[in-house]
């Protein structure tokens, strides 16, 4: 009962701190909105290729010339790619170097040569893929012609009707946009802000002169300890809940179909972060610890991708450091659950968070027990 009373007192005290509550709620929402709209193009996976122009020098004869002419006509009809014949006195390679054409093709009886532009790698890859497909089918037809000319004509005819460009999407509607990404990132960051709350649990009693009265009250230290931690956990989880619901129903961020599991992961993060802040405050022996906690939280936010995405392919020293950020663990786990329904991603993160929480809380409880006061 004493534990619950202390937890309730802690919650009421924090709710009365209007400026802090506004900061905890308004700041991440505004940041989510600003970054979400400002970095929309970073998360836009759509690639549009228009007016792809290819310069061609065709000196081939016979069946190759016929097959290539049909191929170029068919590709132009289905994709909008323009094949222009090389005019006399024009250097095809220079045209590509001057970025007037995406590619230059030389078609002769000895084969097909493609010169691509480094300025237009996507366009060059598209043309290269189409030419490779055409060349494979033509070579197959040439090999068959030696045995059965009639079947070779069928292969050539099928080549003329081939769709060389196909669009394929894998869960295209379930790729995170900018708002979706920052909804997760800001929520995980707010969970980590619990470290600042935890760092002030004991310090606030010292500042307000109530630490001695708590120590003299007929309440066990363990009840004070558990009550203050419980109250802080509930308060921070309420803030996390508001952020999730606001982003889901106001910003229309996608949170998937496993919200209970998501909140469970966030709960373990909140417990861990509060434990970390409480541990640091005891390590400082009553001295202000807010600056140290703030540095740790901001570093974790920066390295964990709260302000901008940190790719999974980040290597070297930076890659090793980013993996130490609890925010990165949370972002990766929630993204896997929301977009891939990978529920197994939750367990390692929850175990890691709770393991660290037990370690920090145990160390803080031992230091509290050794003190005369709280």
> Which tokens go with 256?
């998937």
Q: In terms of domains, do 328 and 215 share one?
A: yes
**pLDDT at residue 45, rounded to an integer:** 54
Q: In terms of domains, do 199 and 99 share one?
A: no
| 55, 86 contact by CB (below 8 A) | yes
pLDDT in tens, 169-191: 444 456 778 888 899 999 999 99
**Once rounded to an integer, what is the mean pLDDT over residues 25-35?**
86
Residue 22 pLDDT level (bands cut at 50, 70, 90): confident
Q: In terms of domains, do 132 and 86 share one?
A: yes
Q: In terms of domains, do 319 and 226 share one?
A: yes
Inside any domain, residue 228: yes
Q: In terms of domains, do 134 and 226 share one?
A: no
> Could you give the number of structural domains in the chain?
2
C-alpha–C-alpha distance, residues 340 and 230, integer Å: 33
Q: In terms of domains, do 355 and 280 share one?
A: yes
Q: In terms of domains, do 195 and 305 share one?
A: yes
Q: In terms of domains, do 127 and 249 share one?
A: no
Inside any domain, residue 167: no
> Which tokens go with 204?
């606030």
Residue 332 lies in domain: 2-44+175-370
Domain-ending residue, one of 112, 129, 160: 160
**Once rounded to an integer, what is the mean pLDDT over residues 91-106?**
84
- Token pair 């509290």 is found at 368
Inside any domain, residue 352: yes
CA distances from 183 to 19, 29, 251, 254, 307 (A): 22, 8, 9, 8, 11
**pLDDT at residue 23, rounded to an integer:** 78
Q: In terms of domains, do 338 and 243 share one?
A: yes
C-alpha–C-alpha distance, residues 305 and 43, integer Å: 14
Q: In terms of domains, do 217 and 97 share one?
A: no
Q: In terms of domains, do 9 and 86 share one?
A: no
Q: What is the mean pLDDT of the chain?
A: 80
Range from 74-83, 104-113, 141-150 carrying the lowest mean pLDDT: 141-150
Q: Which of 232, 200, 211, 219 is closest to 371 using CA atoms?
A: 211
CATH of the domain at 95: 3.40.50
Residue 212 pLDDT level (bands cut at 50, 70, 90): confident
Residue 32 pLDDT level (bands cut at 50, 70, 90): confident
Q: In terms of domains, do 351 and 220 share one?
A: yes
**pLDDT at residue 79, rounded to an integer:** 60
**pLDDT at residue 80, rounded to an integer:** 63
Percent of the chain with pLDDT over 90: 22
pLDDT in tens, 51-73: 778 888 888 887 778 777 777 77
């Amino acid at each position: 009962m004493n534990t619950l009373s202390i937890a309730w007192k802690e919650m009421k005290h924090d709710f009365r701190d209007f400026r802090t509550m506004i900061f905890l709620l308004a700041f991440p929402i505004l940041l989510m909105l600003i970054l979400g709209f400002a970095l929309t193009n970073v998360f836009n996976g759509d690639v549009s290729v228009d007016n792809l122009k290819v310069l061609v020098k065709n000196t081939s004869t016979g069946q190759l010339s016929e097959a290539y002419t049909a191929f170029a006509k068919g590709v132009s009809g289905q994709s909008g790619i323009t094949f222009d014949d090389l005019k006399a006195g024009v250097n095809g390679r220079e045209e590509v170097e001057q970025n007037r054409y995406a590619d230059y093709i030389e078609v002769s009886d000895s084969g097909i040569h493609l010169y691509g532009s480094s300025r237009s790698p996507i366009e060059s890859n598209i043309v290269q893929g189409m030419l490779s497909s055409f060349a494979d089918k033509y070579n197959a037809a040439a090999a068959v012609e030696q045995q059965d000319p009639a079947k070779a004509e069928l292969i050539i005819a099928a080549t003329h009707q081939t769709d060389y460009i196909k669009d394929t999407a894998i869960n295209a509607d379930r790729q995170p946009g900018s708002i979706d990404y920052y909804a997760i990132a800001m929520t995980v960051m707010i969970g980590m802000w619990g470290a600042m709350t935890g760092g002030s649990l004991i310090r606030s009693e010292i500042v307000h002169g109530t630490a001695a009265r708590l120590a003299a009250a007929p309440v066990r230290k363990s009840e004070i300890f558990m009550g203050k931690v419980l109250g802080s956990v509930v308060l921070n989880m309420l803030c996390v809940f508001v952020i999730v619901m606001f982003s889901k129903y106001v910003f229309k961020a996608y949170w998937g179909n496993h919200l209970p599991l998501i909140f469970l992961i966030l709960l373990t993060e909140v417990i861990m972060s509060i434990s970390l802040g409480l541990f640091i405050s005891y390590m400082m022996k009553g001295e202000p610890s807010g600056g140290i906690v703030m540095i740790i939280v901001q570093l974790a936010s920066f390295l964990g991708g709260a302000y901008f995405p940190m790719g999974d392919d980040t290597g070297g020293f930076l890659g090793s450091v980013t993996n130490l950020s609890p925010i990165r663990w949370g972002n990766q786990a929630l993204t896997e659950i929301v977009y891939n329904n990978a529920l197994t991603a939750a367990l390692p993160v929850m175990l890691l968070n709770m393991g660290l929480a037990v370690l920090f809380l145990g160390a803080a409880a031992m230091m509290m027990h050794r003190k005369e006061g709280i």
